[in-house]
């Protein structure tokens, strides 16, 4: 019995040891499994921390690099790239030409100006180091300026000065408003360039506008005369019956359409001016009334030209304003003394223009005159003297007059050292502020059509020897700032700020959803 019990006890003990060893093995395997599970988690956790740290570090490096590059570029004043078709954000050819020719120090001081004006001013410095740009945010730190120009802490102004000459531009000089398109137009470049011309020109050329017999008042050419003043010309009216002669400081004598003939005394004064090598520019509509003007014609005879009584009309729809045969698009020659240096292709719009008739070559030779055609009509144009006709179509009484001259330059040799020059256009309307309807809602001034302003201004620049100002001027309407309503402003701001926030929130939601799904 005892032997069997002992045997059973031994067996039980053996089984117990076996079970104990098995439990120990199981516990060991469990511990190893836990360790294996914990180890990858810790490794992932450490790896995530390392990646996050590297990401943050990379972001910081990028931010610092961007700040550094921006500061470097700003200090270096590197010119910006302008990919717009019309180079809206670049200096025009005329501004570049004028700036390149500056041989004296010019200061542009910007007081409380916006970044756009500051950036544009710096473009002049990038062209010529003689142009210095200074930006002032606190004018109280410059009592010399506050005292000299009467500025206060809240003043917004640009001071352009060179030597003893200066010009101050208010913020209102940098913008204009087009009431036809409801647009605010930026004129910063125009204002700055004209100010630079003004302070660097020792003596402004004087343009005298003959008065006393004109068909139109001076208000009719107000914008054109203002263009001349803006480009540093001295524009003055001249009554020859009062002065008795053309002033000695006259750079160019300007004559517009006459309603009546000038007097003999005025004629003689102008003829004397021509003999001294005077420069004349004439803008004259055709003499539709047929009134005799022998004294004025005597002046034209010195150059062998005359202006017709009839009017030029156009048949080609591509060479006229919409359904308006009297508003003809004329071709401006690019190979004349007025235009060749600028390498320009221009067209202008003449309205109710006459024809410039030039004497034959033999008569011109006797007068000592050389001629150049500045502007001409299309090959399908025709000439009309019967003003009773209301139709725009060519009638039997009309004369074929394709490629008729409507603008010419005449150079008259007085002696070996003296030459008088005349620029003549058989149209006055194209330089005026006559309002021309474009549609039921919009209109434009005659001066603003095509290259009308350029043609007139370049002719003046040629006669005064300002070759660096013969160019196609940048159309300020190309750079506009639209005035928005409060409602439109709210919508724009909502789009700018709401859409990025929505995208960020959507990204967070998607990230959380995917994280929980795993």
Give whole-number Cα distances, 9 to 21, 301, 428, in Å: 18, 152, 136
Both tokens assigned to 200: 């660097």
Q: Is the pLDDT confidence value at 383 over 50? A: yes
439-473 per-position pLDDT tens digit: 667 788 999 998 999 999 999 999 999 887 877 77
Q: Is 106 exposed, middle or buried (0-12, 13-18, 19+ CB in 10 A)?
A: buried
Pairwise CA distance, residues 310 & 186, whole Å? 41
Contacts for 292 with CB less than 8 Å, ≥ 6 apart: 261
Has residue 361 got a pLDDT over 80?
yes
Contact 446, 452 (CB under 8 A): yes
Select the more confidently predicted residue: 180 or 298: 298
Element (H, E) at 167: strand 165-170
Which residues sit opposite 375 in a β-bridge?
Answer: 332, 407
Least confident of 61-75, 99-113, 188-202: 61-75
- Is 49 a residue whose pLDDT tops 80? no
Instruction: Determine the pLDDT at residue 56.
Output: 72
- Sorted by sequence, the CB contacts under 8 Å of residue 412 that are 6+ apart come out as 274, 302, 303, 367, 368, 369, 419, 420, 421, 422
Q: How far apart are the first and last CA of the chain?
A: 65
Mean pLDDT of the chain: 83
Which of 243 and 180 is assigned the larger pLDDT? 243
pLDDT at 182 (0 to 100)? 59
Statement: residue 50 has pLDDT above 60: yes
């Amino acid at each position: 019995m005892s032997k069997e019990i002992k045997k059973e006890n031994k067996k039980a003990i053996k089984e117990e040891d076996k079970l104990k060893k098995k439990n120990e093995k199981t516990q060991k395997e469990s511990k190893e499994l836990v360790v294996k599970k914990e180890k990858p988690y810790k490794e992932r956790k450490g790896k995530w921390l390392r990646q996050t740290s590297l990401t943050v570090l990379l972001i910081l490096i990028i931010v610092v690099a961007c700040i550094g590059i921006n500061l470097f570029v700003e200090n270096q004043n590197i010119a910006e790239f302008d990919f717009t078709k019309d180079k809206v954000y670049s200096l025009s050819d005329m501004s570049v030409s004028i700036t390149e020719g500056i041989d004296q120090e010019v200061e542009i001081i910007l007081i409380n100006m916006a970044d756009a004006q500051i950036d544009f001013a710096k473009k002049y410095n990038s062209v010529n180091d003689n142009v210095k740009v200074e930006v002032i945010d606190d004018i109280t730190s410059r009592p010399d300026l506050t005292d000299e120009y009467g500025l206060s802490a809240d003043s917004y102004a640009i001071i352009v000065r060179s030597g003893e000459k200066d010009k101050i531009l208010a913020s209102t000089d940098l913008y204009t408003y087009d009431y036809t398109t409801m647009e605010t137009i930026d004129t910063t470049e125009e204002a700055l360039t004209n100010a630079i011309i003004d302070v660097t020109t020792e003596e402004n050329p004087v343009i005298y506008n003959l008065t006393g017999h004109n068909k139109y008042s001076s208000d009719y050419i107000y914008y054109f005369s203002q263009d001349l003043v803006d480009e540093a010309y001295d524009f003055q009216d001249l009554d020859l019956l009062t002065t008795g002669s053309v002033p000695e400081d006259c750079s160019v004598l300007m004559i517009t359409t006459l309603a009546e003939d000038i007097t003999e005394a005025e004629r003689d004064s102008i003829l004397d001016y021509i003999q001294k090598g005077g420069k004349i520019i004439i803008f004259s509509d055709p003499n539709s009334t047929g009134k005799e003007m022998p004294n004025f014609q005597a002046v034209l005879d010195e150059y062998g030209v005359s202006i017709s009584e009839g009017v030029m009309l156009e048949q080609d729809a591509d060479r006229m304003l919409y359904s308006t045969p009297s508003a003809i698009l004329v071709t401006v020659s690019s190979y004349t003394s007025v235009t060749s240096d600028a390498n320009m292709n221009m067209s202008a719009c003449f309205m109710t223009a006459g024809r410039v008739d030039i004497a034959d070559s033999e008569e011109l030779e006797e007068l000592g005159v050389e001629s150049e055609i500045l502007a001409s009509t299309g090959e399908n144009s025709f000439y009309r003297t019967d003003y009773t006709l209301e139709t725009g179509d060519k009638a039997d009484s009309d004369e074929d007059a394709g490629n008729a001259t409507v603008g010419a330059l005449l150079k008259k040799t007085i002696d070996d050292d003296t030459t008088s020059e005349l620029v003549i256009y058989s149209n006055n309307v194209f330089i005026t502020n006559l309002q021309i309807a474009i549609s039921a809602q919009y209109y434009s001034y005659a001066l603003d059509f095509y290259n009308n302003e350029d043609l007139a201004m370049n002719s003046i620049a040629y006669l005064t020897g300002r070759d660096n100002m013969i160019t196609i001027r940048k159309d300020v309407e190309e750079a506009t700032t639209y005035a928005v309503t409060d409602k439109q402003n709210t919508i724009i701001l909502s789009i700018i700020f709401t859409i990025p926030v929505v995208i960020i929130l959507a990204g967070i939601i998607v990230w959380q959803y995917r994280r929980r799904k795993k």
